[in-house]
């Protein structure tokens, strides 16, 4: 695995750009984010990460301790959440610390509103 450094909460979704985004792009982004939440375990992971201060980021093992899932299952769920834009990770030696993308919940709600209120 390549050692890549990401600053947790370094990425932020831009609500201003959302207003300018073509509606078809909004729909694609909404579908991708919704896919990320399409499993109760992923919803719980997001809930856990959103309720932790940034300095207490979770590593996969911390999440495994709370969820009734194997470490490999949690890793797969985190992979989906990362691919769909919900979380980002920071390498800390052999571990990866995860946090939600800053402002992602507000962005998701704004996407829903924009997609369903568009005339």
- Residue given tokens 């924009």 in the structure block: 114
> pLDDT by residue (tens digit) across 43-75?
999 999 888 876 676 777 788 888 989 989 998
The structure tokens listed for 86 are 């919900």
pTM: 0.82
Residue 40, pLDDT score = 96
Residue 108, pLDDT score = 95
The architecture (CATH level 2) of 15-117 comes to Orthogonal Bundle (1.10)
Q: Is 37 left (phi over 0), alpha (psi -120 to 50) or beta?
A: alpha
| Contact of 111 with 30, CB cutoff 8 Å | yes
| Contact of 63 with 76, CB cutoff 8 Å | no
Residue ranges of the chain with pLDDT lower than 70?
1-12, 54-55, 57, 118-119
- The 3 state secondary structure assigned to the chain is CCCCCCCCCCCECCHHHHHHCCHHHHHHHHHHHHHHCCCHHHHHHHHHHHCCCHHHCEEHHHHHHHCCCCHHHHHHHHHHHHHCCCEEEEEECCEEEEEECECHHHHHHHHHHHHHHCC
Residue 90, pLDDT score = 79
Residue 6, pLDDT score = 40
Residue 54, pLDDT score = 66
Residue 2, pLDDT score = 37
Residue 65, pLDDT score = 87
Domain definitions of the chain by residue range: 15-117
Beta bridge partners of 102: 12
């Amino acid at each position: 695995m390549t050692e890549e450094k990401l600053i947790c909460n370094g990425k932020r979704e831009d609500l201003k750009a959302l207003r300018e985004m073509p509606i078809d792009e909004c729909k694609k982004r909404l579908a991708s984010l919704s896919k990320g939440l399409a499993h109760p375990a992923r919803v719980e992971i997001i809930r856990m990460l959103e309720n932790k201060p940034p300095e207490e980021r979770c590593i996969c093992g911390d999440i495994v301790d709370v969820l009734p899932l194997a470490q490999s299952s949690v890793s797969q769920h985190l992979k989906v959440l990362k691919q769909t834009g919900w979380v980002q990770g920071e390498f800390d030696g052999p571990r990866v610390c995860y946090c939600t993308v800053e402002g992602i919940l507000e962005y998701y709600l704004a996407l829903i509103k924009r997609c369903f209120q568009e005339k």
